Amino acid sequence: MSAKEIASILHGFLLIIKFDEKFKDHFENSHEAFWKSFYAAIVVAPLQVIYEWGLYISLDEKPNLTRAIPIEVLEYTILWVLFPLVMTYITKVINREEQYFRYIVTYNWLQMCISIIIMPLIILSVFNFLPISASTFLETMVFLLFVTYNIFIAKIVLKLQTGPSFSIVLIDILLTLLVTQIILSIL
């Protein structure tokens, strides 16, 4: 990716934070941009590894690492791919296929930007460098930010009302919970 593309993504992110609808101009609606947006998963991965390690070392009963690592990698991959896959169907059903690529591009880069800002604080929490009350507050704020900004991008990019936009975010949350519960039952 070029410096110009990265700058455009970061500018788009700042516009999303300000609830400025012009953010759309910074996220391409193309097949190429769609695939590039999955670089976000690679950028976030090191933070996720540190977070997972913090969770692992805090467990009283630790699962076997040779079993846990591939399962966690699979979970991470599924979580980055499942929602975009489900959205191919949803955008078709709601007659918004023409905006599918832009929506997923925006969604993926938004997840990366939020993660880069928030994950270091969550990691501090996992390693007990933050009090439980601060950690709980932080997790609640992250969740609210995730919901709020994702409703906003669904409304603008997919040209939906708040209710259907919330439904899309709810589907994302439920998919994440489902995958996480399945992975926890396997470990």
pLDDT in tens, 135-145: 888 888 889 99
Kindly report the number of other CB atoms within 10 A of residue 150's CB atom. Answer: 23
Cβ count near 170 (within 10 Å): 13
Q: pLDDT, tens digit, for every residue of 116-156?
A: 988 898 899 889 898 888 888 888 888 999 999 999 999 99
| DSSP code per residue over 75-88 | HHHHHHHHHHHHHH
Q: What is the pLDDT of residues 160-173, one digit of tens each?
A: 999 999 999 999 99
Can you give the pTM of this predicted structure? 0.91
pLDDT at 58: 86
* pLDDT given at position 186: 87
Q: Which residue has the tokens 């599918």?
A: 100
Mean pLDDT across the chain:
93
Q: What is the mean pLDDT of each run of 10 residues along the chain (187 residues)?
A: 91 96 96 96 96 89 89 95 97 97 97 91 88 84 92 97 97 96 89
Its sign, for the CA torsion 4, 5, 7, 11, is positive
